[in-house]
Chains A and B, each alone.
Chain A
Amino acid sequence: MPDPRPAITRDDVAHLAQLARIELTAAELDHLAPQLAVIVESVAAVSAVAAQDVPPSSHALPLQNVFRRDEVRPSLSPQEALAGAPESEQQRFAVPRILGEEA
């Protein structure tokens, strides 16, 4: 069972913001941390209702094994694929310099 009252600290929010690449000011952290704590607490209230015999689920639908056959369908043209790209070059998506890792 999850802790019914998970604590969300200011540090947690700063960490999450960094992982999500969202820049937050000190004032925003002060503002958001308690709000998120309230939201998590509210959601956690579900645990109080769900009995032990209700398995945790990631889906609303009672479905499993939905497959497609291994068949090729038409793809977008490169022009269509690149239409939404802020920039493109050599029929590729142009992105800012990547730091830290070779692909």
Chain B
Amino acid sequence: MTATASPALVAFDDAIARFDPVLGLEVHVELNTASKMFCGCAAVFGAEPNTQTCPVCLGLPGALPVVNETAVESAIRIGLALNCEIATWCRFARKNYFYPDMPKNFQTSQYDEPIAFNGYTEIDVDGEVFRVEIERAHMEEDTGKSLHVGGATGRIHGASHSLVDYNRAGIPLIEVVTKPIEGAGKLAPVVARAYVAHLRVLLSGLGVSDVRMDQGSLRCDVNLSLRASADAPYGTRSETKNLNSLRSVERAVRYEVSRQAALLDSGERVVQETRHWHEDTGITTAGREKSDAEDYRYFPEPDLVPIAPDRAWVAQLQATLPEPLAERRTRLQTVWEFSDLEMRDVLGAGAMLLIEQTVAAGASPTAAKKWWLSELARRANDAGTTLEELSITPAQVAGVQALVDTGRVNDKLAREVLEGVLAGEGEPADVVSARGLEVVSDDGALTAAVDRAIAHNPEVAAKIRDGKAAAAGALIGAVMKELRGQADAARVRELIVEKLG
């Protein structure tokens, strides 16, 4: 690590009492097209290094890019879903820079002619509607992935050289940029998080991206500045790059508010620079200062012809957009029969999508909500991740509930099954077999255990014989203890009543 003295921080509430934060959010979304933006290489995550490259995405001499039509269609649909205008004519541009994550020494992007611009979206912040204005959504390509060798942790510091995998270079990317978000005040961190969560749900509904923040298919850069009051001119902003979880978006905003307030308090200036977020320590550190090196010398890409989306095509895409999120929320709440309070909890936990998918996989809405908002929320919180980042799918959660519904496991065992799935032990049924978690409902085994419980607790047995049915609980408990919680409690009660009733 560089030995940058971390400045004193101003407590967040204190900072917000004296400064007005202005946010700007840039979200990069990798599209889930089969092939890359400008070539036919597969765009799959996780392939062996450099198995998905060709002369076009390696930038070899003479190679000519051709635009992926589905990527353009996805870009237009994203623009429309964000209430943007769609360009009648636009071009790609070369963003020139020297960095080995792009072998071409430029990234094909859009500059002053984005395909979608001037939109808005309405997000839910603690049950209130908050409108976020959208500046633009433009098309570009993702970069390669660098691995830094020789450093302690795969980071740049101390690295002797870097190794680059270009599988990701050229995967279609849409960058969605907000206009400055004012008026969030102390809710700024929550607004930032809610906006990214909202985009995730919206994009997932469009089916255009996997929106996996943990795999980098959705990443967020946060611009933040402070000013003395809501009518003062904007302050100098910092840009915190590549936040890859909802939680880090929120934390980074809080941290930057505290850091910048401390600088301004001590009469120092905020430097316009990119900053890196450190998940482990919860701080940002300085990256590049904005300088001459940031002069990207954009110019229209001469290897690609302009795009002029046909108005009939745009109208057709508009007509086939999925229902807007606000309506989807209302509809799901009705279908699920959740109260306003329950729905607010669901939205607050960012679990609407997960519950929807869990229900689609066969669980009841109540059961789906129960698992995601209690047991799994607790585990996500303990691990410092979000629900989506847990290594369990909605289908697996539905699978666990199915085991409960069919009586193969009880609630206590179900939690162990979840634990096994999260630990990577396979599907719910595999975990049940491997860990031997099945409920014992075999009468032979249960009868023997009940007999032993009666023999060991003669006073309790006597009470039940005298008609005190409530005392049966103690015997059920004894049977459960002997069978390590895996007894079918209802059947045990029946057996006790049969013997002593």
Interface positions of A (Cβ within 8 A of B): 15, 18-19, 21, 58-59, 61, 63-78, 81-82, 84, 89-103
Contact = CB atoms under 8 A, between A and B. Distances in A.
Contact of B72 (A67, A77, A90): A67
6 contacts: A66-B67, A69-B69, A70-B35, A75-B42, A100-B287, A103-B101
Contacts of A15: 292, 295
A61 B286 CA distance: 46
A54 to B, nearest CB: 16
Contacts of B89: 64
Given A70-B69, A98-B100, A61 B305 contact: yes
A21 to B, nearest CB: 5
B163 A93 contact: yes
B407 interface: no
Nearest to A58: B300
Contacts of A92: 49-50, 147, 163-165
A78 B50 contact: yes
Contacts of A19: 96, 292-293, 295, 297
Interface of B: 33-35, 39-42, 48-55, 58, 60, 66-72, 89, 91, 96, 98-101, 103, 143, 145-149, 155-156, 159-166, 242, 274, 276, 287-288, 292-293, 295, 297, 299-302, 304-310
- A contact face: mostly helix, strand, loop, or mixed: loop
Contacts of A63: 305
A15 to B, nearest CB: 7
A93 B155 CA distance: 17
- B contact face: mostly helix, strand, loop, or mixed: loop
Contacts of A97: 148, 156, 159-162
A67 B68 contact: yes
A102 B163 contact: no
A78 B51 contact: yes
Given A58-B301, A91-B49, A95-B162, A101 B308 contact: no
For A15, A69, A76, A100, the residue with the greatest tally of chain B CB atoms inside 10 Å of its CB is: A76
Contact of A64 (B41, B162, B163, B305): B305
A93 B166 contact: yes
A13 to B, nearest CB: 14
Contacts of B146: 95, 98, 103
A101 B288 contact: yes
A77 B51 CA distance: 6
Nearest to B157: A102
Given A67-B72, A98-B99, 8 more contacts: A19-B295, A64-B307, A73-B41, A74-B40, A82-B50, A91-B50, A92-B49, A95-B161
Given A72-B34, A75-B42, A95 B100 contact: yes
B164 A95 contact: yes
Contacts of B99: 98, 101, 103
Contacts of A18: 292
Given A18-B292, A64-B307, A73 B287 contact: no
A68 B166 CA distance: 21
Contact of B163 (A65, A73, A94, A101): A94
A18 to B, nearest CB: 7
A75 B54 contact: yes
By Cβ-Cβ distance, the 7 closest A-B pairs, closest first, are A73-B40, A58-B300, A70-B70, A92-B163, A67-B69, A103-B146, A95-B100
